[in-house]
Homo-oligomer: A and B are copies of this chain.
Amino acid sequence: MKVARQRILRQLLEEDEPRTQRELMAALASEGFEVTQATVSRDLADLGAIKTRNLSGRSAYSLGADIQKGGRSIDALKRRLAGSLQSVDASGDLVVVKTLPGHAQFVASAIDDIAVREVVGTVGGDDTILVVSRPGKGRKVKDVLRSLGEMGVSGD
């Protein structure tokens, strides 16, 4: 089953330093999941895994930029955010996110988790977050956050 396999895969990604998909394939096999490299590739995409470089410069798969906080998928994050987001507006490269009272810190860290490239950083208060995006990415970040929350909002 796919879900079970991907759960194992997560573990493997956290515990070991799988260097190739072939290696993961073997590891999965020894756990009873015999799949091809193609499936591993697709699983890794599902999990949002990336190939990082470890301390020695060698590359290995891991669960993304937020490894320390425990990996999560975009989907999982979507679920987390959906309930807390109130509105998202942008002014240039600054994106202002309103949340339920007290949720700002939580949401801000979630945004930090997910927006690896487009976001420079976030500042969270009690119910408001200021998201600083990379030059020209403000609109995009806004759109993405809105789509994650799937809520109606005021204009640009």
- A residues sitting closer than 8 Å to B (CB atoms) are 14-15, 17, 45, 48, 50-57, 59-60, 62, 64-65, 67-68, 74, 112, 114-121, 134-135, 140, 144
Contacts and interface: CB of A to CB of B under 8 A. Distances in A.
A48 B109 CA distance: 25
B112 A68 contact: yes
B117 A67 contact: yes
Nearest to A147: B55
Contacts of A116: 52-54, 62, 67
22 contacts: A14-B134, A17-B117, A48-B53, A48-B57, A50-B50, A50-B51, A51-B51, A52-B64, A52-B65, A52-B116, A53-B64, A54-B116, A55-B74, A55-B114, A55-B117, A55-B140, A56-B144, A62-B117, A65-B65, A65-B67, A67-B117, A68-B120
A132 B64 CA distance: 19
Contacts of A48: 53, 57
Nearest to A115: B55
